[in-house]
A and B are shown apart, each in its own frame.
Chain A
Amino acid sequence: MTLLVRSFRRMRFIFNLTRREIRSSWRRLLFFFLCIALGVGSVVALRSLIQNLTRSVGTDARALMTADIELSSTADFSPSEISKIEGVLSLTETVEARNEAITTSAMASPADASNLSTRLVELKGIEPPFPLVGEFEMADNTGFDFALLENNGAVVAKILLEDLNVKVGDKIRIGEAEFQIRGVFEQEPGGTSGFRLGARVFVAKTAFETAGITRNSSRVRRSILYRTSDNPTELVRLLRESLTGTTVAVRSYRETQENISEQFARTENYLSLTGLLILVLGGVGVWNVARAFVEQKRKSVAVLKCLGASGTRIITVYMLQILTLGLVGSIFGVLMAQGGLWLVRWRFAEALPEKMTYSVNLWTASQGVLLGVAISLLFSALPLLQVRNIKPRLLLRDENNVNLRKLDLTKWIFGTLSLAGLLALAVWQAGSLVVGAFFLVGLAAASAVLYLAAMALTFLLRRLKVLGSFSLRQAVNSLYRPGNQTRIILLAVGLGAFVVLAVQSLQTNLVREFDFTRNQRLPSLFFVDIQKSQIDELVSNIQERIGEKAEATPTVRARISHVNGQAFDFQQRAVRQQQGQIGREFAVTYRPELDANETVLDGEWWSDAEAAVPQVSVEEEMAGRLKVGVGDSITFDISGRKITAQVANIRKLDLRNTRTAFIFVFRPGLLDNAPQTFAATVLSRVPPTERQRLQRDMIGKFPNIQIFDVADIVAALQKLINNFVLAISFVGSFVILSGILILIGSIALTKSQRIYENAILKTMGAKRQTLAAILFAEYGMLGLLAGLIGSSFAVLLSWAVSRFILEIDWVFDPVLLAVGIGATAVIVVLVGCLASFDILFRKPMGTLRSQ
């Protein structure tokens, strides 16, 4: 009992001392706190953001489809297909409602001839009851009523009013019919998601047919939609089974949701790793602060040991202190994450789903707190172990702390455990052992490379013996003072500069790639769905107007039905996931020659000689996806006819220099008489007004054709890229902030030494101005070196990503490099000087006396 009471009292010593130490040291450990808070804040904010996004899109998957099951086809449903579908449905009683819809893209222009606007729209013909699932959000807050669409009425997306400069009540022309705008919606069922070429326009399905668009347009998609009272998975399986061999696609909202969720889960894990990177940088800050802390506490530790406290108890006290600060810092990080999410709402709400919520969820917050505490412990364990090496005898004669850093077995064990712990955290965050391990190895490799570069640069700097100025010489010496933090600062700040500059450099190159004034072969206007009978007249009309003979290409719609005699088994998930790429309808063409932007990788391009079998050329990536090589056969479904062709060669497409990009090109002969339309491309850079007028006139003459204004598409793409870059830069700025915190922590670590040096220099007659110049030169050099390292590696990464991953042209941008180095130097000088400024005003006597 006495033993128990005594143990309890001894524990009280640990708790009491921890409490008192926190009370007195919290200011010194503020950076520790901030490092953890920033890291946890990043992890929690990024994870919450993507989770909220997933939830808002996930719940919308059903509304997005407006039904539970969708059967769709690019051709009319044949009687045999209808009977197969009805056969399956007659076996179930779960179908509650049904409707049909037709969608296509079409050109819309105001009926008022004085209004020259014209736009590509995404037209949807519907019939009641619509929608089976989900709701419209109308601009005037009234509900959607199908009556609005009767007698050639249209309900349009709000943006179209601006695009076409029309208002409710005005008439617009689509195809051969005119529609009156009767309603405007803010949000269609399921909301708008992803990239859309044109604004959505709803009309009645019957009016859609009479507008003549279905006669000619090859991109019409017909759907039959069902709402079920039960999980539709089994029904979908049965429908797929019965429709095997047809071109009807069967989808359930659950699969869409599943695919979206999977995609988001991957994104979430990658973003979490980015958060973890920031947290690990925070960990480096923690490591630094913990080292400084132990250094400053040497005497107190010796006193405690002299008074009878064992090393273990003292380590326990400091561990508890770290744990408490880690915990509070993590909680603060969660609050910061919430603030960050509000910031996202303020800045990006327009680009994100309307239903999205912006709060941190409890589970993610708890994970963040756990991560923060774990990182605090992992990164402070090794420095705290140094407490063991502090001997009480230093109270009798001051010894330097050489043996504090000595590596012994315990430190090796703890070092290994810390690494294992870090790996466990990375694997946990990445949701995969391989990705987690890669992250850690990648981080170690990047750090090692940056560290080596820092070592090489500082080594070279030391060889600079010709430095004339005293301040400059002193500053270089400062970079080498015992216990200097030069390399760690270069590593941390360099890493921050690296992330931000790499993203900026990539953006510059990406934006340049989509700057169509540079790509001479990128069309400015793209005409499709031109009938054979119209092509000559259209080409000559365009030539009259702008003086360019548009290049006309025949296109045939085809769908892959078999590969080497085998049909796709969409029951298999792996195949179904590729459905979008391999199961879709392709625009194919036929021509005798290889295009300028193409190269044959395998096999040979066809000669003039007659071929024994029909031949097709397959694009490289598609060949990989279909697992076909030269000599294999692919069967296509073209307007219901099955045509088998032999793969004659595999082609590479240079998308940077492309005018048209066809995945499948047939040898002339086989398709010459198949039902086909033509596409025409115009390369001339026509001014916007002239471009609109030309579109308007061509639509007037040929109502069935569609025109893609590439400038519009490019603008939309650029907006996407800019948002993406902004988002990554936002994350990158957190990396920079972590770097700055590490910088401040490192400055604190060497501060006492700097104070002592300054006191001695002052005693020897150095003026405050000289000391300030030394400070400025030291941080200036550090900043320049960090900027140089970060920028150089950023340029290297941006080159590698552009060249090998994005496969786009890469141009060296010296301005970005210079600005990167300059900005990094300015930040380091500012932070460094501000954090050390007070040293200049210290009286030397007090400092020297206290030593």
Chain B
Amino acid sequence: MILLQNLTKIVRSGTEDLTILDDVTVEIPDGQFVALTGASGSGKSTLLGLIAGLDAPSSGTIIVDGDDVTAMNEDALAELRSRKIGFVFQSFHLIPSLTAFENILIPMEILGVRDARERAELLLADVDLANRGHHYPTELSGGEQQRVAIARAFANQPSILLADEPTGNLDSRNGEHIFELMTDLHSARKVTLVLVTHDGQLASQAERQIVLRDGRVISDELSLRTAETMGI
């Protein structure tokens, strides 16, 4: 479960303070697929970064699986990400000096997983790149790079997958493929999926849609299907 309470993020821009997130309170139960939408600059990516502990809020608390993320130091946050959180970025952010296979291997090696190589092979196969493992990121297409990034995000079997516009840099065909891959993995592995997207069509497929504007939650709705399933 992810619990965000009265979350505010203020950054300094030149001589002025800029409020990116303003008193956001959200609760995401385990295994839910949440779409985070809103205009550019509404605070979506910042919110995602705060959940992952990539940045600290100005005030408020973030609880992930019972742990207060805001009270953790850098190393504890790194450990938390390593064990529980997978992250997929819009611009992939693969390490250019490592092959696709090694990029997937890295999170497992950081955690000290025993059968890391075998698992990396399986993950590569899961994203249909079994024969491209030895390629460097620059030798892969955008769609392939993002598939590697997804495989990397799932490497340590996280309970939470955070995706920041994962299809934003891809054409529609590749975009769809990536989306499907993520939702399939979400269903198969029962992970909580928080997806930041501009794409209304993609967002509509989520179980829940949260809309942000100027750092505030202006809408938080369950999809019809989810409401029905939950008997609401």
Q: Which residues of A contact B (CB under 8 A)?
A: 5-10, 12-13, 16-17, 20-21, 23-25, 299-300, 302-313, 391-393, 395-397
Contacts and interface: CB of A to CB of B under 8 A. Distances in A.
B173 to A, nearest CB: 20
A393 B97 contact: no
Contact of B97 (A6, A25, A302, A305): A25
17 contacts: A7-B112, A13-B110, A23-B97, A300-B95, A300-B96, A303-B93, A304-B110, A306-B54, A306-B93, A307-B87, A307-B110, A309-B78, A311-B75, A393-B49, A396-B55, A396-B164, A397-B45
Contact of A9 (B52, B81, B112, B164): B112
Given A24-B98, A395-B54, A396-B46, A9 B113 contact: yes
Contacts of A395: 54, 89, 93
Interface string B153-170: 000100000001000000
A300 B102 CA distance: 13
Interface in B99-139: 102, 105-107, 109-114
Contacts of B105: 16
A302 B87 CA distance: 12
Given A307-B152, A395-B54, A396-B48, A20 B98 contact: yes
10 closest Cβ pairs, A-B complex: A308-B82, A9-B112, A24-B97, A13-B109, A393-B55, A10-B112, A310-B75, A392-B54, A393-B54, A307-B107
A308 B93 contact: no
Nearest to B82: A308
Given A21-B97, A25-B97, A392-B54, A308 B107 contact: yes
B74 interface: yes
A26 to B, nearest CB: 10
A145 B152 CA distance: 87
Nearest to A312: B75
Contacts, number: 96
Contacts of B46: 396
B79 interface: yes
Given A304-B106, A307-B106, A396-B55, 9 more contacts: A9-B114, A13-B106, A13-B109, A13-B110, A23-B97, A24-B96, A300-B95, A307-B152, A312-B75
Nearest to B76: A310
B70 to A, nearest CB: 15
Interface string B201-225: 0000000000000000000000000
B52 A12 contact: no
A437 to B, nearest CB: 39
B83 interface: yes
Contacts of A304: 95, 106, 110
A12 B109 CA distance: 7
B61 to A, nearest CB: 18
A20 B102 contact: yes
Contacts of A392: 52, 54
Contacts of A23: 97
A312 B78 CA distance: 11
A311 B45 contact: no
B112 A13 contact: yes
A241 B120 CA distance: 87
A312 B76 CA distance: 12
Contacts of A391: 54-55
Contacts of A307: 81-82, 87, 106-107, 110, 152
A209 B155 CA distance: 100
Given A306-B87, A395-B93, A396-B45, A16 B109 contact: yes
B45 to A, nearest CB: 5
Given A393-B54, A396-B46, A396-B54, A308 B83 contact: yes
Contacts of B45: 396-397
Contacts of B93: 299, 302-303, 306, 395
Interface of B: 45-46, 48-49, 52, 54-55, 74-75, 78-83, 87, 89, 93-98, 102, 105-107, 109-114, 152, 156, 164
Contacts of B80: 308
B111 A308 contact: yes
A17 B109 contact: yes
A305 B77 CA distance: 9
Contacts of A396: 45-46, 48-49, 54-55, 89, 164
Contact of A303 (B48, B55, B74, B95): B95
Contacts of A309: 78, 82, 110
B90 to A, nearest CB: 9
Contact of A311 (B55, B74, B87, B102): B74
B220 to A, nearest CB: 22
A20 B87 contact: no
Nearest to B53: A392
Contacts of A302: 93
Contacts of A393: 49, 54-55
Contacts of A303: 93-95
A17 B110 CA distance: 10
Contacts of B107: 307-308
A642 to B, nearest CB: 86
Contacts of B55: 391, 393, 396
Contacts of A10: 109-112
A302 B114 CA distance: 25
Given A6-B112, A16-B109, A303-B93, A310 B74 contact: yes
Contacts of A305: 74, 78
Nearest to B81: A308
B97 A300 contact: yes
Contacts of B164: 396
A23 B95 CA distance: 13
Of B79, B93, B105, chain A has the most CB atoms within 10 Å of the CB of B93
A393 B111 CA distance: 21
Contacts of B96: 24, 300
Contacts of A310: 74-75, 78-79
A401 to B, nearest CB: 16
A13 B78 CA distance: 15
Nearest to B52: A306
A16 B52 CA distance: 26
A574 B212 CA distance: 88
A7 B110 CA distance: 10
A574 B156 CA distance: 75
Nearest to A15: B109
Contacts of A6: 112
Given A391-B54, A393-B49, A20 B97 contact: yes
Contacts of B81: 306-308
A308 B95 CA distance: 14
A312 B75 CA distance: 9
Contacts of A308: 78-83, 107, 110-111, 156
Contacts of B102: 20
A305 B85 CA distance: 12
Nearest to A398: B91
Contacts of A5: 112
Nearest to A302: B93
Contacts of A313: 110
A24 B97 CA distance: 5
A24 B96 CA distance: 9
A195 B200 CA distance: 93
A29 to B, nearest CB: 12
By CB atoms of chain A within 10 A, which of B75, B78, B87 has the most? B78
A425 B87 CA distance: 46
A242 B107 CA distance: 85
B49 A17 contact: no
Looking at A299, A305, A307, A395, the one whose CB has the most chain B CB atoms below 10 A away is: A307
Could you say which of B83, B87, B106 has the most chain A C-beta atoms within 10 Å of its C-beta? B106
A12 B54 CA distance: 25
A391 B49 CA distance: 11
Nearest to B95: A300
B15 to A, nearest CB: 16
Interface centre among B48, B80, B110, B164 (most CB of A within 10 A): B110
A628 to B, nearest CB: 73
